[in-house]
Amino acid sequence: MPSLYGTFTKEGQTIEYTIHGEGPAVLMFHGGHSSCYEESGYEALLASGFSIITPSRAGYGKTSASIGRSLSEACRFYAALLSHLEIDGAHVVAASAGGPTGITFASEYPELVRSLTLQSAVTKEWLKPEDQTYKAARILFHPKTEKYTWKMISTISTVFPRFMFKQMFSSFSSLSYTEAGSRIADGDHLTLAAMNRRQRSGEGFLIDLEQTKKITPEQLEAVSCPVLIMHSRFDSSVPVSHAQHAAENMPQADLQLLDSWGHLIWLGHLAEETDEKLAAFYKNLREI
């Protein structure tokens, strides 16, 4: 997948980013444990003639963690990145833990946002400090330990990809592996293994854990652009209640609940449904 890699410095802070393709701009806010090297869902957008700008969000990759002291502060830098690239507007796609960033960006910079798509996105307080998952995440994905966590996951995924896929399945899907059955595509375990080899948490994931609680219904209501919300009915990573909450509070939201096997809506035999619904959304916008 050919791309341009760059860094942008403002006020002593750095944002790294990639640009794929040529055409109308899509600004991609990746999910947790990812970076500007994210690839999920890109192929269909590029085939449809879009370019994709992906900054590493605050604390991920080489992007300065300090811009993440608030969602508004981070979005000020993302807006500056678009200005630096001489892009006067973009379709925004926000995935998973990138949801709060996409919502904040769309609510605070409406002049830059043509549309907002939320994919498996966090839209309200997510993991709470009293949750066991939260406590475990703060240990496993702490900046001092995350390197070793991902090295172990990457190694096992490479050597035993199908085993690791089955072991991780319940963290993505509310279906049992057997129930998911025909929804799982033959190559899903290899795609997940490749994703695991890319993953790092840096300081970003702990920033995400703190900031998901900062999204308010008022911010959702302030989003004035067309909104597409895409979420699997069987998502166990980010419950479907997040999608429903966003739809209830966003004036122009189109809620599309998917039958894909779980959180990773770009995988499985129903992945084409994700691509087709996003393509139809953009086609309708062009016709307005």
Catalytic residues: 96
SS3 for 81?
A: helix
How do beta strands 25-29 and 13-20 pair?
A: unpaired
Instruction: Give, for 190, the enclosing helix (H) or strand (E).
Output: helix 188-198
Contact 119/177 with Cβ under 8 angstroms?
Answer: no
- Compute φ and ψ for 237, nearest 5 degrees: -75, -50
Which residue, among 90, 60, 82, 74, has the nearest Cα to 206 in the 3D structure? 60
Q: Bridge partners of 232?
A: 258
| Residues 146, 177: Cα–Cα separation, whole Å | 27
| Residues 258, 64: Cα–Cα separation, whole Å | 35
Q: Locate the DSSP E strands across the chain.
A: 3-10, 13-20, 25-29, 51-55, 90-95, 113-119, 227-232, 253-258
| Residues 28, 151: Cα–Cα separation, whole Å | 26
| Residues 236, 165: Cα–Cα separation, whole Å | 15
Contact 185/130 with Cβ under 8 angstroms?
Answer: no
| Residues 159, 186: Cα–Cα separation, whole Å | 17
Which residue, among 278, 165, 208, has the nearest Cα to 65 in the 3D structure? 208
Contact 117/202 with Cβ under 8 angstroms?
Answer: no
